[in-house]
Chains A and B, each alone.
Chain A
Amino acid sequence: MARRSVTAGKQAALAECRHNKKMAKNRKNQAAAIRFGPALKASFLCLLIGGSAVGYVWQKNEIYRLGQQIRQRETKLVQVQNDNKRFSDQISILHSPVMIDRRAKELNLGLAPATPMQVVRLTETPVAPERNGSRQFAQRPVTELTP
């Protein structure tokens, strides 16, 4: 029984010795080995950090660029609104009775206000629909005419 246990102990020691020899062999050949995993990880990390930095700068640049565009468009909008107002004012001024009177005098058109005798006044009265439903024309009786 005791002998058996000594043999088992030797075998375990031998196995450990073999294992140690194998480890030593790998460490010896480590410098020459190509290990893609860590390199990829490192590259990925660098790209991530670099990409984030570039993205951040790009984003900031875009914000600035878009801000400038907004500013330019706001300026343009104000300018267009001002032009719009100026033109609408101009139309309104050209329509004003004073301006029309002035132009009429300048062009010597010989216009004069209508006298009451030149005005015909018509009074609109509701027309009852005809019973036979024939086609109706927009005819209204002239009930009151004043000069």
Chain B
Amino acid sequence: MRWYQRFFRRSLTEKQLEAELRFHLDHQTADYIAAGMKPEEARRRARLEFGGLDQVKEECRDVGSARFVEMLVQDLCFGWRRLAKNPGFMTVAVLSLALGIGASTAIFALIDAVMLRTLPVKHPEQLVHLVCRYHHRPNPRHSGNGSDNEEPTFSYPLFQQFRKHEDVMVNTFAFVPLGFTKETVTVIVDKGARMADGELVSGGYFSGLGVQPVLGRAITDADEQPAAPHVAVISYGYWNRRFGGDATIVGKAVTVGGQPSTIIGVAPPEFFGVEPGRSIDLWLPLSKYGGLQPFGIKASDRSMFDNGDWWWLDIMGRLKPGLSPVQAQAQAEVAFQQAAAATLSKKPKPEDGVHLVLVPAAKGLETLRNQFSEPLQILGLGVLLVLLIACANVATLLLADANARTKEIGVRLSLGAGRGRLISQLLSESLLLAIMAGALGVAMALWGARILARLLTGDASLLGLVHINGLVLAFTAAMVLLTTMLFGMAPAIATTRVDLVPTLKATLGQVLGSARFTTGKALVIGQIALSLVLLVDAGLLVRTLYNLEHANLGFRQQNLLVFKLDGTQLGYSGPQLQGLYDRVLDGMRALPGVRGASNSMQALLTGWESDSGFAADVRAPRDQGNGAQWNVVGPKFFETLGIPILLGRGIEAKDASGAPMTVVVNTAFAKKFFGDIDPIGHRISRHDKFNSGDSAEIVGVAANAKYDWLRNEVQPTVYYPAAQMTWAIGSIYFELRSAGDPLPLVPEIGRAVRDIEPNLPLADVKSETQQIAEDLVAEHMFARLASFFGFTALLLASMGLYGTMAYRVSRRTHEIGIRLALGAQRRSVLANTLGEALVLAVAGIAIGLPASIAAARVIANSFYGVTAKDPATLAAGTGSVLLVALLAAWRPARRATKTDPMVALRYE
């Protein structure tokens, strides 16, 4: 019968084997009797010639490929029976491993979502993203020799030219998000106005990606024509959230960006665009949508569609199948150079080396990957360390357990069991532990991956991408096997390295102890070292977070509410826009609970800023370049935000349009451009050269306040009055200082704004504290995770130390008994045991300290306000490890002192 049949019908196979061999023996016996031998003699002779019946049976059984599986199943059953008898050991081992396996699976699920997965479109491997590379000439504003730069966007005319070349790309399509931030377009549905995330796409987008809408149709080239009616395709999620999954959605009339539009289709649920991590609610044709801001540029400047020098469109395409990458690159280069020459007003200089690169885009655009690949790698490393510690722990447990089995192993070895067979059996037990841990770990990862995703981005943008799919499960299985080998191999080998004669005698004693114990000691020392590394790094990250959270912002962040309004989407512009915003400001100030209100072009600590080159009417004291940041703010900005004015005055209502141009600068600007001179009364221009005709007078100097990022040093900053810079303002941020917690005021504020302009929704509403917390999302995550890893590692290491000391004490009961009987103080026994534990801890610390410093240097970029060698943190880490080590060793040490000498002396 075939091998699998043999496996499943074992009892039948056994019977047949018995029958076959018996047949032989009986016949041989019969022949000998026939030849004249006596029956017993014949039987004996036949038996002798045959060989041992059981041995032959065993050899027959060993034949056959089913054997391996049979043995494995046998071992697993045996292992399970053993483990079930020892539930405490099993629980501890499985939990420790599950922690390690679960954490690594969760990280891998994230890595898969962010870095490995391809877009849910047809043949993603054929997609490429166009990128222009050139050498950047040194900019007088910044120092350096220039660098190789990338420009991932192109002009609309160039796109038109390029897509004619169908020899290289079968489909070429362009897209651009509406604005850099979230919630950039106003969508009015049946009287409700809310903001949504939009993307402008060319006609070939959906067909180029091979995405079929689940309802209705997609955007085509016809929709891109200037005269075509406005249409929109919505995402599946948006369809559910905003429209409740309305089945009559196709053909529904809505207003998008102030224009009446029709919804023509719903995208499939798994489609999210070409940029993982970015959720798009609406896709709109790349036409001239009034009121929209492709890439945040004000729509009034519609010449961007005709301007060949204005590069703002992302272009992707599908390569012609059969074209090799080299050929495609060469042909695309030709097409690009032609299109560039035809559309640019100035030909690029040859030394700039402008050329096209086709970047494979199977996984979508790079933003998410670039943002998270480093944090994920660091996380992955931390998790692997924890996994190692968990494995070391289980290995120590197994080694301690091995002691209980020495007699059993000795007997089995002496009965003729092969050492290899025993090792494989012990490994099967380890495999069983690992399988159980793997199952538990997957459950933990399901939950942990989602938490991690949220921690990484601070919001739910990654959640949709994170699944436990087949690849992740395969990874878990691989981890299970890997950890089995890691923690199971050494104990299995050590356990079977048994010297038979002393084992079988009753006196086990110290003979066995030494070899196995050294491995145990080494493991504990390693665990202690690793946990010190994790603890120190955690401490440094926690301190970084603390420093950032308590950094001097230069303004008062408490009770400050920030929100964005965008009047341009409703058709406002110029003076009417300014008037609208002024009316909102007055309305805000009138609200009870609002102590102060102001507005600004850029909100603080969102990461956004504007910068430019400036020139003053005096020579700067030192040549430090002429770059500075600038913002446009409304009256009472500094008061509302709590930024002290050190000299002169802040921006006031009298800085209106028509009045002389004024600015306020901060201390850093004054220092850089004026040195010790009082800048009040002097003039500056926002150009590389001072031009008194286009300059403004400095009327005040404000204290330094943070602008874009918490971590960045405050740069020289210029504040312009909003009324004098209306061209710079499209959407605007409002800042409200409230008496107490600002968030309960939000509904009132919304109502007040709607009273002024019914279709104007609030966007990006948050308190400044929330805004800062968003800025610190990554630091929060790192600090929390590192602390979690550190404490888990320490816990595991202390368990390992406890187990080792307990084992050691039990081994030395005999010796301790003798010493006590000879008059040693119990105290000295305690000190002795604790001293041993301390030696292990110190050894671990000796290895761990330099390792911590080295590891800290690796992640030094993440620190703020602390260095890699920070002595306080190192001391704290070392102290904690020592303390925990002492605590872990305490109970075994106490038990040692309680040894009854009489019992111990009899114990062997």
A and B pair up: no
Q: B-contacting residues of A (Cβ < 8 Å)? A: none
